Chain A
Amino acid sequence: MTTKNYPLLETRNLTKEYFRKDGSIIKALDGINLKVNSGEFVAIVGRSGSGKTTLLNIVGALDRPTYGEVILEGKKLIDYSNRELALLRRQKIGFIFQTFNLLPTLTARENIELALVHHQISQKQMNQKVEDLMDFLEISDKMDSFPNELSVGQQQKIAIARALVKDPVLVLADEPTGEMDPIAEREIMELLFELNRKSKVTIIMASHGTFLFDFSDNMLFIKNGKLVPKKEADY
């Protein structure tokens, strides 16, 4: 949970540059400053290539910024080693990807358990947590199914369960409904909204859709790597 005097997450002048072979520089993020409080549902809206995924990757400790800082629970991630970042992701951050990113060799249950294998938790506790979550997501009957035997909606529910099973303080969802039809999209969005409201987990979701207006507490618009006012947004 957020320490009293500062937000759960803060970024200061977050900049990410990529270097091309010809020596030119591409700025994927350009001085992003944002604050996210604990329990918020924040939407980041922008077109493809606007910098949404790069922002989530850096905020989620999957990548490092070229300049600027990410501060999670009052601690600057720039001081963390690769191992410390991995442990941070293991304990505090859950990811939901557009393409689900389930391991095809594992069953639904095993994919979810994979997020807990390095946690100090008994097999019994692990089973209980996984089963409770699958009950809540109404996918209990798919426990022993492999990803290729599931619909896209069911696969994303497994991915959501995998992100939530470790009780993270922050869930980062990168276009989680991008591959879904409108009905499945609505179902997943309502589910995430319900999770946010019930468990108070902080969710930052990137999308290019305007349907997020119905769910989010705070909407941020990103364009060419910069946060812009809604009227300048291009989505």
Chain B
Amino acid sequence: MFAYHAIREIRRRKIRSIINILGYVIAVSFLIIMISLAQGYNVVASGELKGIGTHFVAYIPASTVCPCQFREAGPFFKDVYTPTFNSDIVEKMLDLPGVDDAAPYLMFKLDNLTISGIKVGALATEATAVSPAMVVDGKYLEEDDKESVMLDEVFANLLNLNVGDQITAFGRTFNVVGIVNPSLYSKPAGNAHMYGLLTVVQEIAQSYGTLLNFLVSDINVVLVEISPIGDVEYLNSVKQSVLETLEFEVGKKGAIVGYQCGVKARKVASLTEDSAWITSVILLVAATLYSLRSQFGSVVERTKEIGILKAMGWTDIDVTKQIFFESLLQGLLGGIIGLIIGYLITFLIPMLGLVSIQNLVFAVSPVLLLFGLISSIVGGIIAGIIPAWRAAKLQPAEALRHF
């Protein structure tokens, strides 16, 4: 009944209805095309940008022989036991020209098990060691996760451990809050079996240092992020200044190892997707507001008709349903047409060679389609609420006097 009259009204006011529906069509198809395009671009861009090396680690390589006396235990990095040094050096490196960020890092080995202590929230940590993007299950460590660790995916699979399980290692019991795969986007700075907060790993290293009689200070690696500007010569000069600072402060010969830049590249690429989302949402809101205004105008124009319906015994709820259904139907129609158009165009773009990026593959996610449809329906609902309420509140005698 309501659907029948809604369709009649939509057909009667063709221009108005077409413009309303068109608003949803444009917004939804734009959403599908832009997000799919951005996601496809993201994959390609990540691959392309992996080769840019703007970050590296600085450490003091020492001996493959364990500094301990009773067990294989000690600060460890890149297959060797390494000396440790005070983390104040990080502050000095941060002052160097060209250094964007520097973060302390402590990898500790006990027998065949390694744990890395990280500074959460540091760009250098995320770019070089492990980042939230590498979490394949659970969550990334937070600053108050003192009794928690993230496990390397291979290690977790080997022990059949999952998020929510507990693991006993290094004389402590940890909650597993996340499973990570640091090799997912870039070559990481030394894979560890476990990742914990820096302060926690420092405590572990100190307790074993005291127990097994080797010296432990603070950290054994500094993760460094260089500003991604300038040429290779410039990058090398910054690296050299970092190395000199390390060697000067520690008094031993240091080493620098550069890494690929998958994480940062992905961050840059993801900006495109973020902006596509923002633009699409703005378009959807604009379509909804236009439809709201249009529906409101329609109610004003139909004031007398609403009066007639009320005179025949339609209740406020009946009138509300009628107006609301019209708006909802327009949102639904716009959403469905938008999905079809967006889907077709997304596949036509690479077929027609409309983009110059090679290897660009579009895949429209079902979740995105669902989101597009739900958004336009919600838009239709919002656009219908106020006019429907206004129509319901009209007094029949007043409405009948309207011309």
Contacts and interface: CB of A to CB of B under 8 A. Distances in A.
Contact of B400 (A62, A87, A90, A91): A62
A87 B314 CA distance: 8
Interface string B305-326: 1001111111111100000000
Interface string A101-124: 101111000000011011000000
A105 B312 CA distance: 17
Contacts of B318: 86, 118
Given A57-B397, A105-B9, A91 B313 contact: yes
A41 interface: no
Contacts of B9: 105
Interface in A25-60: 57, 60
Given A57-B397, A118-B318, A86 B310 contact: yes
Contacts, number: 60
- Indicate the size class of the contact surface on chain A: 20 to 34
Interface residues of B, number: 23
Contact of A101 (B12, B316, B398, B400): B400
Contacts of A89: 310-313
B397 A90 contact: no
B308 A101 contact: yes
Nearest to A168: B313
Contacts of B55: none
Contacts of B396: 57, 62-63
B351 interface: no
Interface string A143-185: 0000000000000000000100000000000000000000000
Given A89-B311, A103-B305, A82 B316 contact: yes
Nearest to B403: A99
Contacts of A118: 313-314, 318
A101 B403 CA distance: 11
A221 interface: no
A83 interface: yes
A108 to B, nearest CB: 15
A95 B307 CA distance: 12
Contacts of A117: 1
B264 interface: no
B304 A101 contact: yes
Contact of A105 (B8, B304, B316, B397): B8
Most chain A CB within 10 A, of B1, B305, B310, B311, is at B311
B315 A86 contact: yes
A97 B396 CA distance: 13
Contact of A103 (B308, B395, B397, B398): B308
B170 to A, nearest CB: 72
Contacts of A105: 8-9, 11-12
Most chain A CB within 10 A, of B304, B312, B395, is at B312
A104 B12 CA distance: 9
A89 B309 CA distance: 10
Given A86-B310, A87-B313, A101-B311, 19 more contacts: A57-B397, A62-B397, A62-B400, A63-B395, A83-B315, A83-B316, A86-B313, A86-B314, A86-B316, A86-B318, A90-B314, A95-B312, A97-B400, A101-B304, A101-B400, A103-B305, A104-B12, A105-B8, A118-B313
Interface of A: 57, 60, 62-63, 82-83, 86-91, 95, 97, 101, 103-106, 114-115, 117-118, 162
Q: Which 3 A-B pairs have the closest CB atoms?
A: A90-B313, A63-B397, A86-B315
